[in-house]
Amino acid sequence: MNVFSLMKFAVLSLGFISVVSAQPFPDKTIQYIIPFPPAGESDLVARYQADISAKKFKQPMVVMNRAGAGGALVWSALNTYPADGTTVVGVNIPHTILQPLQEGIQYKTEDISAIYYYHFTPDALMVSADSPYKTYQEFIAAAKKEPGKINLAGSAQYSANHMAVERLNKLAGVKINYVPFKGTGDLITALIGMHVDGAMGYLPLAIQQKSKVRTLAIATEKRNPALPDVPTFKELGLNWVDGAYRGVAVPKATPLVLQQKMSDYFAQLNADPETKKKLEDSGFVIVDVPLSKMPAFMKEKIPQAMEDAKNAGMIK
């Protein structure tokens, strides 16, 4: 074997070792539970992650949808799942902060042991492409003309979508009804078919369905390249840049070494160039909040979400 062959073998071996070391559980399958129906943002990203996990890191990962109570069904059961690192659950902020304020919710914010947050999705106000409302101004004018008549669909109660509708009511001086669905995937048909007047969803949905929906405004600092004609709420005079964070959690009893291992693995999936580009082109804003930064992140987000909810009129 010549020197070149030896070098080639060494490089290939290092690549193999790198892939193997990246696998948290080479002989097991990671169960990835999404607490919303298929076709929503959480489901879409989980399937991207599962695909890249299998193809690039040879780590099997199965995505399962268990929708109910706007995510609360799964989050209430999170700490009953196997605490061996092989079960992860999708989690959302501000949902897991605000939902426990509702009567009957069976979990508390501190019950959720998040290990990694990977992206942020900005709010987006949408109507069907067949809607009579062509602009944000026309939509708000109609809402002011007949208070309480217009309704907007959204994913879950005490969620980012719910808070966004209440914020719109307060900032725009209107009274619009919020209609909660199990998840984004469930409300698409109602939105496109005009069973509701519109939806308060997220930017990825607005981009994904841009041939079938008309987006009136988005909660970003500047316009999105995929929707260059859509104004930001800030352009329209509303101080509004907000949305939802998504990540993964494990049962509280999961040993810290396994929590760290899974946090590192999801960070690796999130950093994959192919997945990163696919998500950013789809309207997702990539973030990187690992286990080590989680206490500081939650210390910032909990009071922020509570204050936002208070300002939006959701809580006193």
- Averages of pLDDT over runs of 10 residues in the chain (316 residues) are 46 43 86 95 95 95 96 97 98 96 94 97 98 98 97 95 94 96 91 97 96 98 96 96 96 98 97 92 95 97 90 79
Q: Where are the beta strands (DSSP E) in the chain?
A: 30-34, 61-65, 87-93, 113-128, 151-155, 177-181, 198-202, 213-218, 243-250, 285-289
Give the amino acid at 223.
R
Domain positions in the chain: 27-120+244-311, 122-218
Task: Report the alpha-carbon distance of residue 296 to residue 263 in Å, rounded.
Answer: 16
CATH fold of the domain at 27-120+244-311: D-Maltodextrin-Binding Protein; domain 2 (3.40.190)
pLDDT in the model for residue 1? 52
Other CB atoms within a 10 A radius of the CB of residue 49 amount to 25
Contact assessment for residue 53 and residue 88, using Cβ atoms and an 8 Å cutoff: no
Q: CATH top-level class for 122-218?
A: alpha beta
Distance CA 207, CA 282 (A): 6
CB contact at 8 A, 81 and 293: no
Tokens of 34: 């999404």
